[in-house]
Chains A and B, each alone.
Chain A
Amino acid sequence: MTKEFKEAAAIQSKALGFEPGIYWMEHPVQNRTPEELRNMAKDAANGVLEMITMKENKAAKLDY
C-alpha cells in the first residue's frame, strides 16, 4: 500500500476489526514507468518476504 493511505488503512482496520500486515511503498504508483515499477517491486520483495515468514519475526505495524 502506498504511504498516502496510512491513515485510511488505520481507520478502516479499526472499523473492521482486522489489522493486516502492510508493506508501505512510495506514492504514487500510477504514473511510474515500467522500469520504475519493476525497481519498486524489487525493493519491496525482501520486506514483503520478511512479513510473510517468521524468520526475522517481524510484523508490520500500522504506524501513522
Chain B
Amino acid sequence: MSQILYDPTGETESTMRTRRWPPDDLTGKTVMLFDIGKARSREFLNYLDDILKAKGLTTARAAKPTNAKTAPKEVIDYMVKEADVVIEALSD
C-alpha cells in the first residue's frame, strides 16, 4: 500500500517575465547609477559615473541603505520616475 507524505515546500514557481529592451541610444536619456549598499559600491560607481559623464551621458544616483534588503519604496519610486536605464552595482 502506498504512503502519503505532504509537501513541505512552497509549491510555487514563477513564470519568467521578459526584460524590456533597452533604448536605441542614450541621447537625452538619464542613466541611473544605483548603489546597492555593499562596501566599495559607491566608490566603483563614482569611477563609472566619471567615465559616463566624460562620454557626454546624463547620470543620476540612487542608493539603498543596506545591501541586505530590497530597496525602500521611495528609492524605487525615485528611480522609476527619473531613470531611463539603471545600472546597479556592485554585487560581490
Contacts and interface: CB of A to CB of B under 8 A. Distances in A.
Do any CB atoms of chain A lie under 8 A from CB atoms of chain B in the complex? yes
Contact of A38 (B31, B47, B92): B47
Given A30-B39, A42-B47, A48 B87 contact: yes
A21 B25 CA distance: 17
Q: Please report whether the interface of chain B is mostly helix, strand, loop or mixed according to DSSP.
A: loop
A45 B92 contact: no
A28 B50 CA distance: 22
Query: Which bracket fits the contact residues of B?
Result: 20 to 34
B19 A53 contact: no
Interface string B45-69: 0011001100100000000000000
Interface in B1-35: 14-17, 19, 21-26, 31
Given A19-B16, A53-B23, A27 B92 contact: yes
